[in-house]
Amino acid sequence: MFCKHDNRGKPEPNTRDSSERAVVLNGPRLIVGLGNPGDEYRDTRHNAGFKVIDALAEKLGVNYWKIRDGALIGEVTFQGEKLILAKPQQFMNRSGSPVKGLCSHYGLTAADLLVIHDELDLPPGTLRLKVGGGHAGHNGLRSLHEKIGDDYNRLRVGIGKPEGRQPAADYVLQRLKGAGLMDFEVSIQQAAPIAIYAIEEGMDAAMSRYNGL
């Protein structure tokens, strides 16, 4: 099953020369943002993952996108290695199939995957990295678990919980405006460098640096 499990802590021998080893990335190579395609979902909380991917694309200079395995992807050479940004295009609750297809195409393991998603259980603006765990009712994560298991890296973008009796489904798909949208965009811009640090230095280093903030 892709993303296939890896033997963490037991890397295969590196046969590249010293100049190549100097730029090896320590973290994920496939960065997936979860969301729903279509302009009507652009400024919703549920599209936090898509928005962080867009922010990463701007920072990394990704300006060409193509469809592969049901996802919109952009490839860039980052510190000498290929990095793939992806936005599944089959709606949130079917995200697993495109991600599985990309893992298979690029021959990646769970350690190579970073999934960025909205998180009801974190206050708005809170950003947390995590390795593995449950889906907590998130339909995008549920789909991923069905297709690739749960042992993958995550960057959780806190959106808080709805007030009163508003259903969670309505809350996450509500279009943000004004100050609410501005605050949301701030957290998106703050998430991008955290993802880049995880890519460069690895999840353990990134969690140590950012999860206490």
Please list the active-site residues.
Answer: 46
How many whole angstroms separate alpha carbon 86 and alpha carbon 33? Answer: 6
How many whole angstroms separate alpha carbon 121 and alpha carbon 157? Answer: 10
14 contacts 22 by C-beta, under 8 angstroms? no
135 contacts 145 by C-beta, under 8 angstroms? yes
What is the b/e burial string over 116-127, where b = at least 16 CB atoms within 10 angstroms of the residue's CB? Answer: bbbbbebeebbb
Q: Provide the residue type at 190 as one letter.
A: Q
Closest to 36 measured CA to CA, from 16, 51, 24: 51
